[in-house]
């Protein structure tokens, strides 16, 4: 629980949470039970990698700004 909370805190240098920086989304703290779906959702790898690349460029920019200050 403490680790989850720590990973959900916004960093002063990156302006993002560590979980968002690593996975590209913010996890939810609620539990929902969904009906069982036998087919897993397909992930478009190219879309995911381009989204993560864009996110990491944004984070690098924020880190450079923090270092300059």
Question: What is residue 38's predicted lDDT score, i.e. its pLDDT?
Answer: 63
Contact indicator for 7, 19 with CB cutoff of 8 Å: yes
- Domains in the chain: boundaries: 2-30+43-68
Q: Is the pTM of this model over 0.75?
A: no
Question: What is residue 40's predicted lDDT score, i.e. its pLDDT?
Answer: 56
pLDDT tens column, 39-65: 555 667 778 888 889 999 999 999 999
Residue 69's Cβ-count burial label (10 Å; 0-12, 13-18, 19+) is: exposed
């Amino acid at each position: 629980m403490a680790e989850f909370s720590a990973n959900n805190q916004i960093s002063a240098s990156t302006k993002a949470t560590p979980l968002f920086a690593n996975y590209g989304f913010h996890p939810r703290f609620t539990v929902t039970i969904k009906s069982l779906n036998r087919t897993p959702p397909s992930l478009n790898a190219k879309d995911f990698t381009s989204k993560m690349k864009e996110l990491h460029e944004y984070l690098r920019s924020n880190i450079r700004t923090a270092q300059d200050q």
